[in-house]
Chains A and B, each alone.
Chain A
Amino acid sequence: MMTPIRPRVVIVPCSGIGKTYGSVSREAAYEVVENLRPDEAQLVALSLLVMGDDASRAEVTTTPAVTIDGCKLACATKMVQECGGTVARDFAVLDMYRRYRQYKPQGIAELNEGGLQLARALAEEIATVVDNISPRPFAGEGEGGEG
């Protein structure tokens, strides 16, 4: 019996420390990899890419990436591209906030409720993208159903 090989997705969030939108991006990434899609998505730290960490660079060059940028500098997206990776979808926290104005993010080390809600909304959208790249298992998978 063959076990289907499912592609995984790497999530690369902004590393803006001390920035509210950076915190939202990281909170959203944690929500995806820890709760929403733990089997399909994994986190790659932007700082490791910047430092040239071989394992992290290998991840982004062999796996589609979803990037989350906290500001217009778009460091996460640019760094993945610079590493030779493929950005399957890039999200910007500011664009998300424009669509979810009721969730005004505030706070840095500890986000307010608005920031957490915005992060959850963002995480839900990322999960949908992950699903489109890496289909969720369905009944019968592993018995040759999906191949």
Chain B
Amino acid sequence: MPEFLETRVDKFTFKVALDRFYNAEGVWAKPEGDHIRIGLSDFIQQRSGDVAFAEVKPVGTRLAFGEEIAVIETIKVNISLGSPVSGEIAEVNPAMASAPETINQDPYGEGWLALVKASNWESDRSRLMDAHAYYERMKGQAEEETRS
């Protein structure tokens, strides 16, 4: 079980898992050997609302850093998600087709999107935020949205 940084903004509590990296969009990347597991941060899933559909690019798709890996349609918005890692999609979470609400229920666990075989992880990682940096960014975004 990952440990979390946690903040409360207005009536919402947001968690940031410590054991992974994040891009600016709030997509997380968790190294697992030479593969990287990818998913959505708790803040992004809460802000976006209940997920109606999650369409992840199929296994075998080659991605550059930042290239679209998935499109999420929620009750509020459609979001195109950029990949936080370059490489080839090795596995797609089957729950995304049958139960995309898993993203809302367990964003850092069962709600993962895909597993990517990384092609240049060391370089990609240098372009991501660690959990503490993302936490500060997320907290600022959440507070700003509460004010507006």
User: Which residues of A come within 8 Å of B, CB atoms?
Assistant: 20-21, 71-72, 94, 97-98, 101
Contacting residues, chain A, for B50 (C-beta < 8 A): 71-72, 94
Determine how close the nearest CB of chain A comes to the CB of B115; give it in whole angstroms: 25
Whether the pair B53, A71 counts as a contact (CB closer than 8 A) is: no
Whether the pair B104, A94 counts as a contact (CB closer than 8 A) is: no
Q: List 17 A-B contacts (CB under 8 A).
A: A20-B75, A21-B75, A71-B49, A71-B50, A71-B75, A72-B50, A72-B101, A72-B104, A94-B50, A94-B52, A94-B75, A94-B101, A97-B52, A98-B52, A98-B53, A101-B52, A101-B53
Q: How far is the CA of A101 from the CA of B75 in the complex (A)?
A: 12
Q: How far is the CA of A135 from the CA of B49 in the complex (A)?
A: 38
Contacting residues, chain B, for A98 (C-beta < 8 A): 52-53
Contacting residues, chain B, for A94 (C-beta < 8 A): 50, 52, 75, 101
Interface size on B, residues (CB 8 A): 7
14 further A-B pairs in the complex, CB-CB below 8 A; given A72-B104, A94-B50, A94-B101 = A20-B75, A21-B75, A71-B49, A71-B50, A71-B75, A72-B50, A72-B101, A94-B52, A94-B75, A97-B52, A98-B52, A98-B53, A101-B52, A101-B53
Encoded as 1 (CB less than 8 Å from any A CB) or 0, chain B from 71 to 109 comes to 000010000000000000000000000000100100000
Determine how close the nearest CB of chain B comes to the CB of A115; give it in whole angstroms: 12
8 Å CB interface, B21-75 against A = 49-50, 52-53, 75
Q: How far is the CA of A98 from the CA of B101 in the complex (A)?
A: 11
Contacting residues, chain B, for A101 (C-beta < 8 A): 52-53
Determine how close the nearest CB of chain A comes to the CB of B79; give it in whole angstroms: 15
Determine how close the nearest CB of chain A comes to the CB of B110; give it in whole angstroms: 16
Q: How far is the CA of A72 from the CA of B101 in the complex (A)?
A: 10
Encoded as 1 (CB less than 8 Å from any A CB) or 0, chain B from 98 to 139 comes to 000100100000000000000000000000000000000000
Determine how close the nearest CB of chain B comes to the CB of A61; give it in whole angstroms: 30
Q: How far is the CA of A97 from the CA of B76 in the complex (A)?
A: 13
Contacting residues, chain A, for B101 (C-beta < 8 A): 72, 94
Q: How far is the CA of A101 from the CA of B101 in the complex (A)?
A: 16
Q: How far is the CA of A94 from the CA of B49 in the complex (A)?
A: 11
Determine how close the nearest CB of chain A comes to the CB of B31; give it in whole angstroms: 32
CB-CB nearest in chain B for A20: B75
CB-CB nearest in chain A for B76: A20
CB-CB nearest in chain B for A19: B75
